[in-house]
Homo-oligomer: A and B are copies of this chain.
Amino acid sequence: MKNRLKVLRAERDWTQAQLASALEVSRQTINAIEKGKFYPSLPLAFKAARLFNLAIEDIFQDEVTEVTMVKS
């Protein structure tokens, strides 16, 4: 999973700690997400989207996961 958090922070000149506090998570959580250690939860992704006024997909990009529908 890739994400634009670092760039979005940089555009606003925010530290990881400031972003963490705006999103009400720990600084380590922001660091880990920026470094791709894990996905944020959906609620956290929504909060970030609202904070930056962007769609979730404009902040977090999934590496394409395959999806196939079985014939009904």
Is A7 in the interface zone, CB < 8 Å from B? no
How many monomers of this protein are in the complex? Answer: 2
8 Å CB interface, A20-72 against B: 21-23, 39-43, 45-47, 49-51, 55-57, 60, 62, 64-65, 67-70, 72
Nearest-neighbour CB distance to chain B for A20, whole angstroms, equals 11
- For the complex, count residues of A whose C-beta is within 8 A of B: 30
Q: Which of these, B22, B45, B57, contacts A69 with CB under 8 Å?
A: B22
Q: Which of these, B41, B47, B67, contacts A41 with CB under 8 Å?
A: B41
In the complex, what residue of chain B is closest to A43 when comparing beta carbons?
B39
Q: Which of these, B21, B40, B47, B62, contacts A70 with CB under 8 Å?
A: B21
